[in-house]
Structure 1
Amino acid sequence: MAALAAAAFVGLAGCSHAPIPVAENFPYTAQKKVRSAGHWDAVAEHVVSTTLARLAQTPASGQPLRVSLPSTPSAFDQAFRELLITRMVNEGKTVVERDDAPVRVSYQAQVVRHNSDRPHLIPGVFTAITAGVYVAHYLGVHAHPDAAMAGGLGYAALADVARSQYSGGPTHTEVILTTTIMQGDRYLVRNTDVYYVEDSDATLFQVARGPVPREFKVVSQ
C-alpha cells in the first residue's frame, strides 16, 4: 500500500504543470427561473426594493421618477414597466410621465442562449447540511452513526434531485436584467440580476420581428 501511494505521489508530481489551465466548476450556486407573469412581479419587487434602498443613499432620493420603456419593447418590457410603476407607487415614490423628470429609471433585458449541454442536477446543499448535522450530533451521542447517516443522506440527496426536477432544471436560455437609475448623465444606481427562463419562453423577452418580405420572381412574357 505504501509503495502504491508513493507511486501515485510521483505520478501527481509529474503532472504538476499543464500546458493550459485546467477546467474547474464554480462553487455551488442557485439561480432562480422565471416561468410566469407572477414571477415577473416577484422580480419587479426585488428590483424595486434593491434599487430604492440604494437610491435612498443618494441626494436624489426624494425627487420624482420616470420609468422609461425601451425603444423597441418586448412583451416582458411592457409588462415589467407597469409592474415597476405599481411597486414604486406603493412604496410611496412619486412617479411621473414627464420627459423632463429629474430622475430616470430604465431597464434592459438581454437574452443569452447557450448551445452546450445543461447538467440537470447540481447536488450539494441538502446533502451537505444533513451530513454536517449528523456529524455534529452523532460524534457526541452515538458510537456507530453509519446506518442513520446513510439513510439521512439518502433523503437529502432525493431533496437535491427534487428541488432541481421541480424547477424544470437549468435551461439553455438566460435573461440578464439590468436596472439603471440616472440623474441627467450621471449613473446613480445600477443593479443586474441573471435568471433562467424556459427555452420556449425566450420570445417573450425579445423584440418581435416584422414579417419576412416575400420575394417575387418576374417572368418575362
Structure 2
Amino acid sequence: MIRKVSLIALGSVLLSGCFNVQTSQAPIATTYPLTTQQKMQAAHHWDVLAMHQAEQIMSNELLLARPLYISEDQATSQFTQAFGSLLTSHLVSRGASVKTTEANSLSVSFTVQAVKHKDRGYVRAPQGALTALTAGIAVATIPYNKLSEPALTLIPLAATADLFSGNWTSKSDQEVIITTQVTDRDRILYSTSNIYYINGGDHDHYQSRRVTPTRTVNLTNNW
C-alpha cells in the first residue's frame, strides 16, 4: 500500500514538472476589497454635496479671488436646478464672488449621469456581518428565558435596532455620477466626480426634463 502511494506521489511530482500548476484558460472572477458608497435619499444630501463642492472650490489656489458664474441653462432636472441654487448659496456665504453674467468670470458647470445596472447579481454581506447578527439573536433570546414578562423580551432587541438602524439601507441597482467643473474658456481648472446610490423611485430627479416644442400658428384676418 505504501509503495502504491509513493508511486502516485512520484507520478504527481513528475507531471507537475511537465505542466504548469495553478493555471487557467480564462481569468477567474474575483471581488474588490470591501468599500462603502453613500446613498442619496433627501434634498439635504444634495445640500451636503453642494457645501462640500463650495469648500473644495474655495480652497483651490487656481480659483482664489476669481469671479464665478453658474449657468442657469444647466437646470434641466430637479437635482440640477436645486444643486445650482444650493451651490450658489454656499459659495456666496463663504465670500466667493458669484456673478449673474458670464463675462470675465470662470464658468462653474455640473453634469449628472444616471446609471441603472441590469444584472447586478448577489451582493454578499461584509465579513463578520453574519457573526454579528447571530450574536445579536443569541443575546436577544436571553430575556425570554430569564424574564417572566413577555413584553420585556423586546427591550434588548429594540435597543440593538436603535443602535444600528442608522447604518441600514436597502440595496439599489441605480446610481448617479455627479461631476462638477470650473473652466476658464477652454481650460479646466477644477474637476471632481462623486458617485452615489439612489432609490429606484428617485431616478427621474436626475433626468433631464424634456421641453415640448411649441408650434407657431400664424393668424390672419383674410378668409
TM-score by length of 1: 0.67
Contact conserved, 2:74 with 2:80, CA < 8 A, in 1?
no
Cα distance between partner residues in 2 of 1:196 and 1:175: 7
Structure 1 residue 70 displacement after superposition: 4.5
Equivalent in the alignment of 2:32:
26
Contact conserved, 2:99 with 2:105, CA < 8 A, in 1?
no
Contact conserved, 2:67 with 2:99, CA < 8 A, in 1?
yes
Identify if the C-alpha distance between structure 1 residues 108 and 207 changes in structure 2 by more than 3 Å, giving closer, same or farther.
Answer: same
Structure 1 residue 115 displacement after superposition: 0.6
Paired residue secondary structure (2:69): strand
2:108 to 105, 108, 114: 105
Equivalent in the alignment of 2:185:
184
Query: What stretches of structure 2 of length at least 5 have no aligned partner?
Result: 137-159, 213-223
Amino acid at match of 1:176: I
1:82 aligns with 2:85: yes
Cα distance between partner residues in 2 of 1:92 and 1:71: 23
Q: In angstroms, what is the RMSD of aligned CA positions?
A: 3.3
1:154 aligns with 2:135: yes
Deviations 1:23-79 (A, max 9, x none): 1111111000000111111111122222332x2x21x41011011235461111100
Q: Runs in 1 of length 4+ with deviation above 3 angstroms?
A: 12-15, 69-72, 117-122, 150-155, 162-165
Identity rate, percent: 28
Contact conserved, 1:64 with 1:94, CA < 8 A, in 2?
yes
Identify if the C-alpha distance between structure 1 residues 163 and 21 changes in structure 2 by more than 3 Å, giving closer, same or farther.
Answer: farther
Contact conserved, 2:75 with 2:84, CA < 8 A, in 1?
no
User: Between Structure 1 and Structure 2, whose CA radius of gyration is higher?
Assistant: 2
Cα distance between partner residues in 1 of 2:124 and 2:53: 28
Contact conserved, 1:69 with 1:106, CA < 8 A, in 2?
no
Aligned length, in residue pairs: 174
Cα distance between partner residues in 2 of 1:78 and 1:187: 23
Identify if the C-alpha distance between structure 1 residues 152 and 203 changes in structure 2 by more than 3 Å, giving closer, same or farther.
Answer: closer
Amino acid at match of 1:116: D
TM-score by length of 2: 0.67
Query: What stretches of structure 1 of length at least 5 have no aligned partner?
Result: 129-149, 212-221
**1:120-199 paired onto structure 2 within 5 Å:** 122-124=125-127, 127=128, 154-155=135-136, 166-169=168-171, 171-199=172-200
